[in-house]
């Protein structure tokens, strides 16, 4: 993990788990281990290069672990680390907040 400087803790959190794809990846891994192809099938609109970058960032920040198996074809699995698991309640809180405060003004797929 690289040490970075931020003006406030919220900005640090947003850097680690913010953006279009990182929260979705964490949510997909919240209770299971997935292979790269399984994550990719969860998010068909995400380019393979983008997924690779997001996974690399999450791994560098200690949010997920990557396990590569020496097989042909290669098999790589991703799972949340202890740190990554602490983010799940935050995402659940965001889910609840949207349900409570914004459900009448938003449309989203459940």
Helices (H), 1-110: 9-17, 22-28, 36-42, 48-60, 82-85, 88-101
Overall domain count for the chain: 1
pLDDT at 31 over 90: yes
Confidence at residue 108, expressed as pLDDT on a 0 to 100 scale? 63
Residue 108 lies in a domain: no
Q: Who wins on pLDDT, 19 or 84?
A: 84
Q: How far is CA 77 from CA 59, 92, 98, 109, in A?
A: 12, 24, 31, 27
Would you place residue 1 in the very low, low, confident or very high pLDDT band (cuts 50, 70, 90)?
Answer: low
Residue 1 lies in a domain: no
Residue 95 lies in a domain: yes
pLDDT tens for each residue of 84-97: 999 999 999 988 98
What CATH number is attached to the domain comprising 50?
A: 1.10.10.10
Containing structural domain, residue 70 = 9-101
| Global confidence as pTM | 0.86
Tell me the two tokens of residue 63. 């949010």
pLDDT tens for each residue of 41-85: 999 999 999 999 999 999 999 999 999 999 898 899 999 999 999
Residue 106 lies in a domain: no
Residue 3 lies in a domain: no
Residue 109 lies in a domain: no
Residue 84 lies in a domain: yes
Confidence at residue 64, expressed as pLDDT on a 0 to 100 scale? 98
What are the phi and psi torsion angles at 68 (to 5°)? -100, 135
């Amino acid at each position: 993990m690289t040490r970075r400087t931020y003006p406030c803790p919220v900005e640090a959190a947003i850097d680690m788990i913010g953006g279009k794809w990182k929260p979705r990846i964490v949510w997909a891994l919240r209770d299971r281990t997935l292979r790269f192809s399984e994550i990719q099938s969860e998010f068909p609109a995400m380019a393979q290069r983008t997924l690779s970058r997001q996974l690399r960032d999450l791994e560098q920040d200690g949010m997920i672990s990557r396990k590569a198996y020496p097989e042909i074809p290669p098999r790589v699995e991703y799972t949340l680390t202890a740190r990554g698991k602490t983010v799940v309640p935050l995402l659940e809180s965001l889910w609840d907040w949207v349900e409570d405060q914004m459900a009448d003004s938003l449309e989203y797929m459940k």
